[in-house]
């Protein structure tokens, strides 16, 4: 071979390699600065001129912009040029998971794991694919493996408990949650969620002292978890330790005044739940307070049938007319469809909850009849 030709050929190869290195370096900078649109604008139109790493970065930018089809295209091109990059297999697998193509995702996660078997998130992703296919035993195996790797994150710990719950193995689910409180860093979202779920499960099992401990741990970990305050109040109302509930009710009222409560807690909170025959009774308290010139509901008892439908409500209603005449502040009433019932029983702010609950149950038992009824 002519030496001059060989020198020119080697120089061209070096120039091509240098150019690709420059492209990859530029792509890395754009990705680090989260300039995903710029990556796609500059490099996506001409994929043929890109190396495997460059194709991966363009695909990653598509992944971050939720352009699933484009992401798959660039990951496939990258893998075709270099099947040894575990990252491309993982991003492709994750995209397939988001697209509900779980069978295909499993193959890609497994390919990533073969190339880099110590990466926890690869096992978590594989667990997610199996979980969504309801292959719970395989999901459990991979979630557990993920928890044993370095930097596993919080998700696999939470999902181990979730899978046990799906398998109707509630004792193992509860134990997994307790294990999380010792394995996850205090104050993290996973740590807090684990204690919250423990509280839910312990209360459901009738272990209210353990539920109290759990919800107190939630609040200590995250003082803005207002759902935990409501759950703690429910524990105290179940135990009839009403004085212990008062400071937590005050916290909720203060949070409401500051506009900190959102969603289903924005207007009211559940303070008690109990059963009557085959009905579930959910008792809520609204933050609205008098004196007012109009009627408003204060405590509302929702009566839920055995299949989850709300049959009717019993509620204390603020009565401006009664207050003006020196009578009780609230009148016990009921609603069913468009029909309103007035039972003629009055309460004030200093009402004893046991008396209110007893009156509600007597209405359910039809021992109290409405003194007035309207549409």
Q: What is the pLDDT of residue 16?
A: 39
* pLDDT tens digits, one per residue of 199-253: 999 999 999 999 999 999 999 999 999 999 999 999 999 999 999 999 999 999 9
Q: How far apart are CA 75 and CA 14, in angstroms?
A: 26
Sign of the alpha-carbon dihedral angle for 114, 117, 122, 124: positive
pLDDT (average), residues 322-338: 95
R_g of the chain, CA atoms, integer Å: 30
User: Quick check: 10 pLDDT over 80?
Assistant: no
Q: What is the pLDDT of residue 155?
A: 98
User: Quick check: 343 pLDDT over 90?
Assistant: yes
Question: What is the share, in percent, of the chain residues with pLDDT greater than 70?
Answer: 94
Q: What is the pLDDT of residue 22?
A: 80
Residue 290: band (very low, low, confident or very high) from pLDDT cuts 50, 70, 90: confident
Q: What is the pLDDT of residue 20?
A: 55
Residue 12: band (very low, low, confident or very high) from pLDDT cuts 50, 70, 90: very low
Element (H, E) at 51: none
CB-CB contact of 92 with 106 (8 Å): no
Residue 375: band (very low, low, confident or very high) from pLDDT cuts 50, 70, 90: confident
* pLDDT tens digits, one per residue of 147-197: 999 999 999 999 999 999 999 999 999 999 999 999 999 999 999 999 999
Residue 4: band (very low, low, confident or very high) from pLDDT cuts 50, 70, 90: very low
Q: What global pTM score does this model have?
A: 0.88
Q: What is the pLDDT of residue 24?
A: 86
Question: Would you give the DSSP letter of residue 225?
Answer: -
Q: How far apart are CA 277 and CA 327, in angstroms?
A: 34
Question: Would you give the DSSP letter of residue 368?
Answer: S
Question: What is the share, in percent, of the chain residues with pLDDT greater than 90?
Answer: 89
Tokens 């390919």, residue?
A: 111
User: Quick check: 299 pLDDT over 50?
Assistant: yes
Q: What is the pLDDT of residue 6?
A: 41
pLDDT (average), residues 349-364: 96
User: Quick check: 1 pLDDT over 50?
Assistant: no
Q: What is the number of other CB atoms lying within 10 angstroms of the CB of residue 20?
A: 16
Q: What is the pLDDT of residue 198?
A: 98
Can you point out the beta strands (E) in the chain? 268-276, 279-286, 297-304, 310-318, 330-336, 339-347, 372-374
Domains of the chain, CATH where assigned: 185-255 (1.25.40.10), 267-375 (no CATH)
Query: What tokens appear for 23 in the block?
Result: 């492209």
User: Which segment, 18-22, 31-35, 288-292, is predicted with the most confidence on average?
Assistant: 31-35
Higher pLDDT, 11 or 230: 230
Residue 17: band (very low, low, confident or very high) from pLDDT cuts 50, 70, 90: very low
CB-CB contact of 291 with 253 (8 Å): no
**Residue 99 Cα distances to 69, 102, 136, 342, angstroms:** 9, 8, 20, 54
Q: What is the pLDDT of residue 170?
A: 97
User: Quick check: 66 pLDDT over 70?
Assistant: yes
Annotate 198-265 with DSSP letters as a single string: HHHHHHHTT-HHHHHHHHHHHHHH-TT-HHHHHHHHHHHHHTT-HHHHHHHHHHHHHHHHTT---GGG
Tokens 């530029």, residue?
A: 26
CB-CB contact of 157 with 181 (8 Å): no
């Amino acid at each position: 071979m002519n030496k001059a030709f060989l020198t020119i050929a080697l120089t061209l190869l070096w120039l091509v390699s240098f150019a690709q290195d420059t492209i990859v370096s530029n792509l890395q900078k754009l990705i680090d600065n989260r300039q995903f649109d710029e990556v796609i604008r500059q490099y996506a139109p001409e994929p043929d001129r890109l190396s495997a790493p460059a194709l991966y970065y363009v695909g990653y930018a598509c992944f971050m912009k939720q352009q699933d089809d484009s992401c798959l295209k660039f990951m496939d091109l990258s893998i075709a040029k270099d099947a040894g990059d575990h990252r491309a297999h993982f991003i492709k697998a994750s995209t397939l998971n988001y697209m509900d193509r779980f069978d295909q995702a499993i193959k890609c996660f497994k390919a990533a794991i073969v190339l880099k078997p110590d990466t926890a998130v690869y096992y978590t992703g594989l667990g997610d694919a199996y979980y969504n296919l309801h292959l719970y035993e395989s999901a459990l195996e991979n979630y557990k493996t993920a928890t044993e790797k370095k930097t596993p994150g919080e998700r696999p710990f939470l999902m181990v408990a979730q899978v046990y719950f799906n398998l109707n193995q509630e004792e193992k689910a509860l134990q997994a949650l307790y294990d999380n409180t010792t394995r996850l860093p205090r104050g993290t979202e996973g740590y807090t969620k684990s204690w919250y779920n423990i509280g839910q499960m312990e209360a459901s099992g009738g272990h209210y002292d353990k539920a109290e401990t759990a919800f107190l741990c939630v609040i200590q970990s995250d003082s803005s978890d207002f759902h935990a305050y409501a759950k703690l109040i429910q524990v105290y109302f179940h135990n009839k330790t009403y004085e212990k509930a008062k400071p937590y009710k005050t916290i909720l009222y203060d949070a409401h005044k500051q506009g900190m409560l959102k969603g289903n807690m924005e207007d009211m909170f559940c303070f008690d739940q109990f059963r009557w025959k085959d009905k579930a009774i959910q008792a809520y308290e609204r933050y609205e307070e008098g004196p007012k010139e109009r009627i408003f509901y204060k405590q509302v008892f929702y009566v839920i049938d055995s299949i989850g439908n709300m049959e009717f409500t019993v509620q204390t209603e603020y009565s401006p007319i009664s207050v003006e005449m020196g009578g009780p502040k609230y009148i016990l009433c009921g609603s069913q469809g468009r029909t309103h019932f007035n039972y003629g029983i009055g309460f004030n702010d200093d009402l004893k909850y046991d008396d209110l609950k007893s009156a509600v149950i007597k209405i359910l038992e039809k021992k109290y009849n409405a003194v007035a009824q309207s549409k």
